[in-house]
Amino acid sequence: MVMDDTRPSLIRLKRNPTIFTFSLGYLGQVITFGAVYFLVARLGFLIPFNGQLSVLVWPATGLAFAVLTRSGIRYWPGAALGALLVALSNQYSIPLLIGFVAAHTLEPLVGAYVLRRHTHFRSSLEKVNDVLALVIIGAFLSALLGASVGTLAIRLSPEGVNRIYSYVWWEWWAGHTISIVSIAPVVLTWYANRRMNWTVNQWIEAGIGLVGLVLISAVVFLQFSPSGNYPLGHAVFPFLLWFALRFGPREVASASLVTLIIGIWGTATGTGPFSRSNPDLNVLLLLSFVLSVILTALIVSSVLAQLRRAREALRQNNAQLEARVTARTAELSQANNLLQQNIIERDQIHGELVHARDQALDALRLKSQILANISHDARTPLNVIMLRTEMMQVGRYGAITDKQKETLDGISLNARELLTFINNLLDEAQYDTKKLRPVPVEFKPHDWLKQSVDAMRPLAEQKHLQLMFRVAEDMPSTLNNDPEWLRKILNNLLSNAIKFTAKGHVCINVNKVDANHWLLMIEDSGMGIPDEALPHIFEAFWQGDGSVTRDTNRGVGLGLSIVKRLTRILGGEIVVESQVGQGSIFKVTLPFEMKKEADEHG
Amino acid sequence: MNMAKPLVFVVEDDPSLGTLFSDVMQDMGLDTQLIRDGRLANQQLDTAVPDMVLLDLHLPHVSGLEILNRIRSDSRLEKTRVAMITADAVRVKEAQGKADLILIKPIGYFDLRDMVAKLLPEHALPR
């Protein structure tokens, strides 16, 4: 019988249950259900009973209860059809037929409706609540309602004459309770789980358990006659509990049914502990036995199922947790490896950087050493040249002609240029090795300027240039700075101005700029500096390209870069204005007082 | 003016420059002795007492600074004037306070005249 409405074992709250459906499939299902109901009902008649009713056990109502609970109350017409067929086959009178059909329809319909509507019922019966709900509703709602309606129908029908209605009611209720609580659990649990994925060992165990249960049930219920029956009903419990311990509710319900069938059969045929002379007492004994078997077996099995589920959930959680821990550990380990690798790489890079820095420092030291050596080694021969020239100039080697004097002046001029260059080289070397530190002292700007200019005067005179200087009247009488450094700045600028000026003048002006600064300005009427060269002239070792001739350009490379560097260290700034063919103006702005820490190297 | 010419030791390892310094000194009416090596200078100073030493800082075997220290610690040479000459503007500071005069190369003709005028005033030539 296939009546699965695709519902899972959990039967959910249903506000508006469907009572009718009109489809061919539904009609076929209802007819099939009715036929099965009829056949199962006829089975009840096979069990002899001589009470007020002609039949005690009504297995069809247990089936109907389960089907309507599991598949939906809209299948009630199947139960009605089955009951109708039974009534017709028994040739009931019309009143009894109507009452009979109504009783057997209402019984499963109301029970299933309440069970579906008012409880979160699982047909797998794995919870104690579900077991209790099934038994209580089945016994005290469905069977009670059926018994009441059925008794009323019998009372009103011709067949009800000469019957004791209280016994009718009692027998109906007891018989239907027995039927519902023994049959419905089997049907429901098999609906909930139809798979048979047992191991071989489980098959063997189930087989042994079933054989044992059948044997003990047979011994208890079928062996002894009424005169020799003993209260041995409890003997079936060990086997049922065995099933409960080792299997699920489905197997327990099935095994219970086997025991109950044997028990009912024995009782009905006059053997077993419940077979006494009073049939109504027998019914009571049988009812109590059925209820205790079902309740005990199903409750124990549901409790164990719950435990099993909890244990399984715990195991799964543990496994999940373990998997997560493993994954996380792997991630951490990977991250750690990466980190370690990064550290190693960084250490390598660090080592390379240190090496590169050491090499750069070595190279810098070597450069400084080479520059210092050049400066040092050039001084001795330069000294010879200058001294010989001077001795000839002063006539120590005899009288000289004008032409010779002019030549000697030229040699002298170039020797001084060479000396300036050598001094610059030494400054550059000392700057790189940080040996260069200004020493501020107080000095008189006018005297300082006069001395410096006078030292350069012979060079200007040789080229017939006008060399003038002027100190503004508002300048302080003393300054606090390094006069030797300032002299280097001035000498470089002045020597450039004289070198690049063919005719005209070179003027030096010293002015006050503001409360803290003064300006040293060197102006010439020389060749000027091309615009494209202006941005580069303060760069070390830079020399102009083809725009100026090689001859006039020599010496520019180092001097201006040193001037700029010294100016910066002294806390000043230098700018240049120039126009090709007109001349150049170098403006050096300097503070009156040197800062305490002259550490602005670059 | 003493009739005896003052004695000047020119201690300079560069032969051209040493000869030239000697020439200028002799030209100024001084007796000169050219020494090209620090060890030789020390040996000469064991016996002679020069009025002035023109002393190069960098010398073979014994440095100018050691000779300067030796002169300053020798009571026999207490009247000897020392002019330190060098091309090393950095290291020359070590001689500061000990030498009577420090000259940095290149040293011109007039520098030498000024030096003689300052260290041997009684022998200075009129300019």
Averaged pLDDT for residues A566-574: 88
Residue A3, pLDDT above cutoff 50:
no
Q: Predicted confidence band at A318 (pLDDT cuts at 50, 70, 90)?
A: very high
Percent with pLDDT over 70 in chain A: 90
Is A548:A530 a contact under the CB 8 Å cutoff? yes
Expressed in angstroms, the distance from the first to the final Cα of chain A is 100
Task: Please count the CA atoms within 13 angstroms of the CA of B116 that sit on its side-chain side.
Answer: 28
Alpha-carbon distance A390 to nearest alpha carbon in chain B (angstroms): 6
Range from A258-267, A441-450, A528-537 carrying the lowest mean pLDDT: A528-537
Averaged pLDDT for residues A424-438: 72
Q: pTM for the full model?
A: 0.49
Bridge partners of A518, per DSSP, are A512, A590
Please state whether beta strands B7-11 and B31-35 pair in parallel, antiparallel, or not at all (unpaired): parallel
Closest partner residue to B87 (CB to CB) among A376, A391, A415 is: A376
Task: For the beta carbon of residue A136, count every other beta carbon within 10 angstroms.
Answer: 12
* Average pLDDT in chain A: 84
Averages of pLDDT over runs of 10 residues in chain B (127 residues) are: 77 90 90 91 90 89 89 90 83 78 87 89 62
Averaged pLDDT for residues A344-372: 89
Chain-centroid distance of CA A86 in Å reads 67
Is A481:A440 a contact under the CB 8 Å cutoff? yes
Alpha-carbon distance A379 to nearest alpha carbon in chain B (angstroms): 6
Chain-centroid distance of CA A442 in Å reads 71
Q: What is the pLDDT of residue A434?
A: 63
Phi, psi of B82 (to 5 degrees): -120, 125
Secondary element (H or E) of residue A485: helix A483-499
Chain A residues in contact with B104 by the CB 8 A cut-off are: 379
Higher pLDDT residue, A241 or A20? Answer: A241
Is B102:B84 a contact under the CB 8 Å cutoff? yes
Task: For the beta carbon of residue A102, count every other beta carbon within 10 angstroms.
Answer: 17
The residue behind tokens 């950095």 is B90
**Residues A47, A218: Cα–Cα separation, whole Å:** 16
Closest partner residue to B20 (CB to CB) among A377, A387, A394 is: A387
Q: Is A125 left (phi over 0), alpha (psi -120 to 50) or beta?
A: left
Averaged pLDDT for residues A8-36: 72
Q: Predicted confidence band at A334 (pLDDT cuts at 50, 70, 90)?
A: very high
Is A262:A221 a contact under the CB 8 Å cutoff? yes
Buried residues in A382-419 as b, exposed as e (16+ CB within 10 A): bbbbbbbbbbbbeeeeeeeeeeeeeebbebbbebbbbb
Closest partner residue to A391 (CB to CB) among B89, B106, B109 is: B109
Chain A residues in contact with B108 by the CB 8 A cut-off are: 386-387, 390
Q: What is the pLDDT of residue A601?
A: 45
Is A180:A241 a contact under the CB 8 Å cutoff? no
In single-letter form, the type of residue at position A119 comes to: T
Averaged pLDDT for residues A67-89: 91
Alpha-carbon distance A377 to nearest alpha carbon in chain B (angstroms): 8
Chain A residues in contact with B109 by the CB 8 A cut-off are: 387, 390-391, 394, 396
Interface touch B106/A379, C-beta < 8 Å: yes
pLDDT tens figures, A433-487: 666 678 788 888 888 888 888 888 888 888 888 999 998 888 888 888 888 888 8
DSSP string, A275-322: --S-HHHHHHHHHHHHHHHHHHHHHHHHHHHHHHHHHHHHHHHHHHHH
Residue A65, pLDDT above cutoff 50:
yes
Interface touch B105/A382, C-beta < 8 Å: yes
- Nearest by Cα to A70 from A193, A187, A196, A178: A187
Q: What is the pLDDT of residue A328?
A: 93
**Residues A293, A249: Cα–Cα separation, whole Å:** 13
In a mutational test of the B interface, the residue from A368, A373, A376, A412 whose CB has the highest number of chain B CBs within 10 Å is A376
Helix, strand, coil proportions of chain A in percent (round to 5)?
65, 10, 25
Phi, psi of B27 (to 5 degrees): -55, -30
Interface touch B17/A376, C-beta < 8 Å: no
Q: What is the pLDDT of residue A323?
A: 94
Identify the closest residue of chain A to B18 by CA–CA distance.
Answer: A384
Bridge partners of B11, per DSSP, are B35, B55
Bridge partners of A530, per DSSP, are none
Chain A residues in contact with B106 by the CB 8 A cut-off are: 379, 382-383, 386-387, 415, 419
Q: What is the pLDDT of residue A8?
A: 45
Task: Please count the CA atoms within 13 angstroms of the CA of A183 that sit on its side-chain side.
Answer: 27
Chain B residues in contact with A383 by the CB 8 A cut-off are: 17, 105-107
The dihedral of CA A160, A166, A167, A168: what is its sign? Answer: positive
Closest partner residue to A384 (CB to CB) among B16, B104, B110 is: B16
Burial, A67: exposed, middle or buried (Cβ in 10 Å; 0-12, 13-18, 19+)? buried
A377 CB near a chain B CB, below 8 Å? yes
The residue behind tokens 């030797």 is A484
Secondary element (H or E) of residue A212: helix A200-222
Chain B residues in contact with A386 by the CB 8 A cut-off are: 106, 108
A437 CB near a chain B CB, below 8 Å? no
Task: For the beta carbon of residue A596, count every other beta carbon within 10 angstroms.
Answer: 7
Bridge partners of A481, per DSSP, are A441
Task: For the beta carbon of residue A349, count every other beta carbon within 10 angstroms.
Answer: 10
Alpha-carbon distance B14 to nearest alpha carbon in chain A (angstroms): 8
Identify the closest residue of chain A to B104 by CA–CA distance.
Answer: A379
Averaged pLDDT for residues A76-103: 91
Interface touch B17/A390, C-beta < 8 Å: no
In a mutational test of the A interface, the residue from B105, B111, B127 whose CB has the highest number of chain A CBs within 10 Å is B105
Identify the closest residue of chain A to B58 by CA–CA distance.
Answer: A376
pLDDT tens figures, A45-55: 888 777 777 78
Chain A residues in contact with B90 by the CB 8 A cut-off are: 372, 430, 435
Residue A6, pLDDT above cutoff 90:
no
Residue A340, pLDDT above cutoff 80:
yes
Q: What is the pLDDT of residue A547?
A: 42
**Residues A364, B26: Cα–Cα separation, whole Å:** 45
Range from A136-140, A227-231, B30-34, B90-94 carrying the lowest mean pLDDT: A227-231
Q: What is the pLDDT of residue A569?
A: 85
Q: What is the pLDDT of residue A227?
A: 56
Q: What is the pLDDT of residue A16?
A: 56
Chain B residues in contact with A381 by the CB 8 A cut-off are: 16
Return the structure tokens found at B18: 């040493």
Is A160:A150 a contact under the CB 8 Å cutoff? no
Interface touch B106/A391, C-beta < 8 Å: no
| Widest pairwise Cα distance in chain B | 40
Is A173:A143 a contact under the CB 8 Å cutoff? yes
Q: Predicted confidence band at A167 (pLDDT cuts at 50, 70, 90)?
A: confident
Q: What is the pLDDT of residue A118?
A: 67
Is A445:A483 a contact under the CB 8 Å cutoff? no
Interface touch A390/B106, C-beta < 8 Å: no
Range from A82-91, A221-230, A315-324, A511-520 carrying the lowest mean pLDDT: A221-230
A419 CB near a chain B CB, below 8 Å? yes
From residue A295, how far is each of A162, A181, A221, A287, B64 by CA, in Å?
37, 9, 20, 12, 123
Alpha-carbon distance B110 to nearest alpha carbon in chain A (angstroms): 9
Closest partner residue to B108 (CB to CB) among A377, A387, A435 is: A387
From residue A198, how far is each of A207, A278, A309, A386, B101 by CA, in Å?
12, 45, 18, 119, 118
Q: The sheet that has A466-471: what strands, in order across it?
A: A466-471, A505-512, A517-524, A583-591, A573-579
Higher pLDDT residue, A254 or A230? Answer: A254
Identify the closest residue of chain B to A376 by CA–CA distance.
Answer: B87
